[in-house]
Every structure is written in C-alpha cells, then in structure tokens.
Amino acid sequence: MRTRRRITFTATAAAVTLGGLTAVTGQANPADSAQPDAAEPAQPQLSAALDPGGESFVEDFDAGIDEGFWYVNDGYNNGGHQNCQFNAANATTADGILTLTLDDTAYGDRDYSCGAIQTNKRYSYGTYETRMKVGAASGTNSSLFSYVGPYHGQPHMEIDFEVLGKDPTVVELNTHVDGSNRGPWPVDIGYDSSEQWVDFAYVWEQHRIRYFIDGELVHTLTDPADIPTHNQFVFTMLWGTDTLSGWMGPFEYPGHPITTEYEYVAFTRAGEDCQFAGSVACDIDVQPPTSSFVDEFETLDTTRWGVSDGWNNGARQNCTWDADQVAVSDGVLNLTYVEQPTGDRDYACAEVQHKSKLGYGTYEVRMKGVPGSGVMSTFFTWVGATSSEPSEAIDIAKLLGVNTGQVKVNTWRNDQPLRPTLVDLSAPSDEVFHDYGMVWTADQLDFYVDGELSVSIINADRIPDRATNMFLNIWASETTPEMGDFVPPDGPLTMQVDRVAYTAPGDACQFAGSIACS
C-alpha cells in the first residue's frame, strides 16, 4: 500500500462549488461553524507562487476517511441546479476504495442524496492524481477537481476533471480563473470509464497546466488567462441535476444507487520526488514555482508590469502619470517626462510597477537616467503601511538629474530615510547605461554599482523586512530640495531601461554578469 505523508489540520470552511459552473458561496461549515475558515480571515491569500500550500500526500483510503484531513460534505447543496443534498452517509470506504453515492434518499429539501469530500488544506503547484470509476447515468457529474473562491475570501479559481454520466467515454477538462470559465475541453478517454478504472492527473505549474489520462499527455494550457494563481482545496464529488440537461443530459434515476469509486487521491508538490510507482510525477519534470525573472523588454509584459495612469503622488509631483509615456522599442523600456497638460498638472510622467510582491533576493537593473534640475529617474521598492505594519521602501538607484555623477541609495520606514548614501559613478548616469543592484537578506542589505559592492547595511533596524513591489519611474518636483530647483526642460526627457531582473534566494543566477552569480 502507498505511504501517506500527512499533517493534521484544523477543519476549514466547506468550499462550495461544482466543476464547470460558477461557484455558489456561503453554504455549510465543517466542525467549527462559528468560525468558518477562521485561520485566514478576509485578507487576501498570497499567490501560489509565494505560498507552497499543503504537503505532498497519497490517500489510499485503507483506513477510512480521515476527518482530520478530509471534510465530508453534509447538509447542503450548491444551488437550484443541483437535485441532491450532500449527505455524509453517501461518502463511504471499504477495502481501500472511496465510494460516493447518489441515491433516492430524500435529504433536506431535495429528493436525492449525493456525496463529496474535500481536503481541509489548500494546495499549490504540483501533480494531482486519482484512479476512479464513474457512475453511468444521464444528468450526473463525477469529478476530481481543485477549487477556492469567494466563500474563502478569494477569487474563483478551479481546475477540473469531470466525467458526465451521459457519456463516460469522455472527460471534460476545465479551469476557472478569476470567475471566468475557460473551457471546457472535452477529451476522449478511449473506453467506458464506468466499466474500468481510469487514471486522471493534472500537473499545475506556474506557467502551464498539463492533463494526463492513463499516463498519456492529452492537453496542455499555457495561456496565462487559463491558469489559476491561488492555492485550492482538493475535491472528489458526485452530484446530479434536473435543470442542466443541455450540458449533462436529462436526469434519469436508474432505480438503484449511482456510484463513483476512487482507489486513491494523491498530490505531489512541484519539485518533490514521486511517491508511488505509476505516478505521473515519476516520469515528468514538474518545475517548482519561482518568482525569479529577467525582463529584457522585447515587449512590455503587462502580466508582469502595471502601468500607472491618470494620477500622481501628491503636491510635490508636478506631473501626472500617463500610460502614453511608457513605451518599448528595440529591447529598451522608455519612460518619458514631457511638458504636456495631463490631469491637473502641466507635465506628464511615467511609471511601471511589478504586479506581484517580492521578498528577499537579488534585484538588478541596467538603466540610463536623464539630466535636469528637479527631475529624477528611479528604481526602487515600496510597500504601503497597514494597521499593524509600517510603510517600507528601498532606493536601489535614485538618479537625480541635478547630479548625474552619483547615484543615491537608501532605505525607508514610515517615510523616514534610514541610510541615505551617495555613490560616485564612473560616467554620468545620463550618458551611459549603468548596472545597479542590491542583495537583500534579513541580516544584510548590499548595494552594487556596475558589479562592485558600494554600500552595506548590517543594522537590522535599517533593513526593511516586508514583501514589496518593485517600481521604475521618472518624475519632477518644484518643492523637493534634494532634486534641485526645477528647471523646465527644453524637450522630452526619456529614462531608458535595458534590463530588470529578480533572483529569488537559492535560485541560480540568470545571466552573465549578474551579481547573483558571485
């Protein structure tokens, strides 16, 4: 028998969904109904790239249903489209097999009972597998899927294998991303899955999902719009409908219970060894998530970068962020400051920010600033204050147009500078590209210019410690002394960025000359 690798978890709120449909929220809770999902109240969950989620496991059901690991759905349904009520009595085990049953036992306000179980823990990137034999009855749906949604304070994210009882020779593959139904993608199984066991597996990675039937790859998704980004609960489910006949066929109760069986359910974290012979994870490379990247700006990747537009940072800024001042050409990101009435200001300026928060690691930019008193080009990190945490920022490269012979580095907390330092440059910042970077750990923050260590901070009180966003911008001020007296430029000023990179701790360096290589 397969070895389980388990942690005992506190029961969390029941995710209420059904594969292929928009989730219905706000149904029943597991054991602690007074505090549904109390461990993770209302604040957004980290993306799957930043939160590894639950550990790898193999569930072979030899010891029954472990209710410290699984929640057995009971006493609710997913809405008017579902003709059955989930009934704990309809999820049973015997001889190492989980059986979910749909029968004509009236329960709640429904004429039928059906079965489902779900993990109490959410899971992230990796390989999800089952061996199942489905019930053959029109109007029914047997599935393995993962889901999280608004009931948990998260956007609706879902990945599905669904076999409709009207034709058990076909499985429907699907994903939901931010509530958008991306499929389905029907695939022929090759035989009747109500008569013989079928192995289903999907491999969820940061940039793709691969679906397998009996160990053979049958479908691949690579469009970011198709790939969920949040950790999810794992479900097995059998249910029926009287109303969704166009999709699932007319419901026909055959006069005896309909059953779907599962021999095992398994999850193997990305990057970990496979756990049993025959697992899809034994034969393929499953990349663990990483937030490391190198952007050389062949295009502006709007899945990575947000463009500021139509606002400004307050009275000290004499310009308004304008998306039209952000452009990519010949492998260079161009951010422009120009005299052009925009919003309530006489000038337009430009900013991009990395959409995902990043933490400790190596940050690098190759950029060229602009000359001009009162104008500044910057590469920095910033995260805003919360009710319990301060705002924090790190100036990796602050290029003041009034002083192009130096770069300013600094750290900030609650808008107060902690370690401002000017570093000499070998050539003016507006005439040549320089490489600026930092290596950030909990104990030390090192700044680099052109590959050489320039400043080290070892005082923990001066080292930010919160996950943060990365920014590039150009702007001007008529009230900020360090920037000099503002002198209107003769024409547009364009800051140029050749490359931006982030290397997460422990990841290999990503390009020749990176300070992460040393």
Which residues are marked as active site?
158, 162
Query: Quick count: other Cβ atoms within 10 Å of Cβ 44?
Result: 10
The whole-angstrom separation of Cα 212 and Cα 197 is: 14
Helix (H) or strand (E) holding 334: strand 332-342
Query: Quick count: other Cβ atoms within 10 Å of Cβ 155?
Result: 18
CA nearest neighbour of 16 among 135, 110, 152: 152
CA dihedral sign of residues 322, 323, 329, 332? positive
Which pair of tokens denotes residue 307? 């463009």
What is the residue-wise DSSP string for 3-55?
PP--------PPP---TTS----S----S-TTSTTTTS-SSPPPPTTT--BSP
CA nearest neighbour of 275 among 22, 423, 59: 59
DSSP state at residue 80: T
Which pair of tokens denotes residue 171? 């499985």
The whole-angstrom separation of Cα 467 and Cα 442 is: 12
Distances (CA, A) of 166 to 173, 181, 212, 244, 415: 16, 22, 22, 12, 63
CA nearest neighbour of 328 among 356, 350, 343, 355: 350
The whole-angstrom separation of Cα 81 and Cα 246 is: 12
CA nearest neighbour of 464 among 344, 324, 358: 358
**For the chain, how big is the Rg over CA atoms in Å?**
28
CB 171 within 8 A of CB 150: no
The whole-angstrom separation of Cα 244 and Cα 192 is: 23
Pairing status of strand 97-102 against strand 140-148:
unpaired
Is the peptide bond preceding residue 184 cis, with omega within 30 degrees of 0?
A: yes
Which pair of tokens denotes residue 125? 């990137």
The whole-angstrom separation of Cα 130 and Cα 198 is: 8
Please report, to the nearest 10 degrees, the dihedral formed by the alpha carbons of residues 8, 9, 14, 19 taken in order.
-70
The whole-angstrom separation of Cα 445 and Cα 59 is: 44
CA nearest neighbour of 410 among 419, 398, 422, 399: 419
